[in-house]
Amino acid sequence: MTAPAAQANAALANRLLAGLGGRVPPRLGVAVSGGGDSMALMSLLHALCAAAGTVLETVTVDHGLRSEAAAEAEFVARCARSLGLHHETLQWRGWDGQGNLQNAAREARYALMADWAMRRDFPSIALGHTADDQAETVLMRLARRAGVDGLSAMAPQSTRHGVTWLRPLLFARREALRDYLRGAGLEWVEDPSNDDPRFARIQTRQSLSALAPLGIDVETLAEVAGNMARARDALEWQTDLTAGDILRMEAGALVMRAEAFFAAPEEIRRRLVIRALGKMSGSAYPPRRGPVAALIAGLAEGQAATLDGCQALVRRGEIWLFREYNAVRDHRVPVDHLWDKRWRAVSPGGSTEGAELRALGPDGLAQCPDWRSLGRPRAMLLSTPAIWQGAQLLAAPLAGLDEKWHVLLESGADWINTAPLSH
């Protein structure tokens, strides 16, 4: 290897390390498809992890959509073994021919790899997304009229399915990584779908060459993503401050002072509502901008509204956001299980055989004589967790009928950490 090539590789490794936050975690998974980006990532990480004493393992997802996929997964396995790395191929055969194929494959890929990471005890998985991928994402989201969060594109680090996803190559150009592989005498495979113009990302990729003379190139779009990420962080900071001033949690509901809420800038109001909805519903994806704007406009007129399995209403100068009764009315679990992904019951002792957690509902609320004294909206209390034994209501702690039972909000108490904002 020539001295310039060695220097270039060292610079690439140093920037990769910076993309990991300046340190290599003790245990790390890496997703490898066999393409140039992920093969370069595996090779570079192998050297970094060996120096740091990090346990590194590789994983490939075979979607079963192309005849070559199995052979490509075996190619990755051979390359990983040659480096002394454990490798596993995960198979997806869930495509039913409905909806958007690329979206379905992407969702399945993340879910399968997250399960693998938890099984293998890897808190983090590194992905091979590059500056080119970032630029294409910005352009695609621009076509969908994205806002600040959408144009921030892919984050260097994100959490999904309980796993931290790292993108330490967002600085790197696709061709530079292939140059690295060529210089190291390493092979990779080309997915023919990367040239298939039926896919929106490929159309976007091809359009970049036409936009380059206007100064709209990969570097420019990647810089835009960085600018938007900093703007997003500033908006999130202001949202945190506003929340601290106007919001409280009561019995699992989020309550905001209405006058202060409507005095906040439009974008801050939107973010507050999206965060609240995310905490209530636990949805992986937030509602789109239009429905959120309609909900806020309705609240300004004093109208109640439902969205994303939640309900919002204005009452005595406050905005209440809580779980919609219809979203949980049929959900029931044994009393020692987590209910609606948020609530857990604590019994007073003694036998709880046959007891289960269910929504209080109108029949249960009718058996709670003191609920009005709590000052909580009736619609909100209907969706709160209650302890039942068959048709008998044993306790409804949030509606004033505790009978020494308690219900604890196990998820959602810290409302700040929520799902990503809509684009």
250 class by beta-carbon count within 10 Å (0-12 exposed, 13-18 middle, 19+ buried) = middle
Helix, strand and coil content of the chain, in percent to the nearest 5, comes to 45, 20, 35
Structure tokens belonging to residue 420: 């990503």
Is pLDDT of 416 > 60? no
Alpha helices in 99-254 (DSSP H): 101-120, 131-143, 148-151, 174-184, 200-211, 218-246
- pLDDT tens column, 366-382: 999 999 999 999 999 99
Look at residue 203 in the predicted model and tell me its pLDDT: 85
- pLDDT per residue as tens digits for the range 102-138: 778 888 899 999 999 999 999 999 999 999 999 999 9
User: pLDDT per residue over 326-338, tens digit each?
Assistant: 999 999 999 999 9
Domains in the chain and their CATH numbers?
3-224 (3.40.50.620), 244-323 (3.30.465.60), 328-409 (no CATH)
The residue behind tokens 């909805």 is 277
Dist CA 167 CA 251 (whole Å): 38
Instruction: Give the tens place of pLDDT for each residue, 178-218.
Output: 999 999 999 999 876 666 677 777 788 888 888 988 999 99
pLDDT for 260 beyond 80 = yes
pTM more than 0.85: no
Interatomic CA distance for residues 226 and 148, integer angstroms: 11
Residue type, 155: A
Q: Are strands 55-62 and 86-91 parallel, antiparallel or unpaired?
A: parallel
pLDDT at 418: 41
Tell whether the model's pLDDT for residue 419 goes beyond 80.
no
Summarised one tens digit per residue, pLDDT across range 277-295 is 998 888 877 898 999 999 9
pLDDT per position as a tens digit, 21-61: 999 999 999 999 999 999 999 999 999 999 999 999 999 99
65 vs 130 pLDDT, higher one = 130
Provide the pLDDT confidence category of residue 414 given band limits of 50, 70 and 90. low
pLDDT at 423 over 50: no
Q: What DSSP string describes 51-87? A: HHT-EEEEEEEE-S-STTHHHHHHHHHHHHHHTT-EE
**What span, in angstroms and rounded, lies between the C-alpha atoms of 418 and 423?**
15
Mean pLDDT, the chain, rounded, equals 90
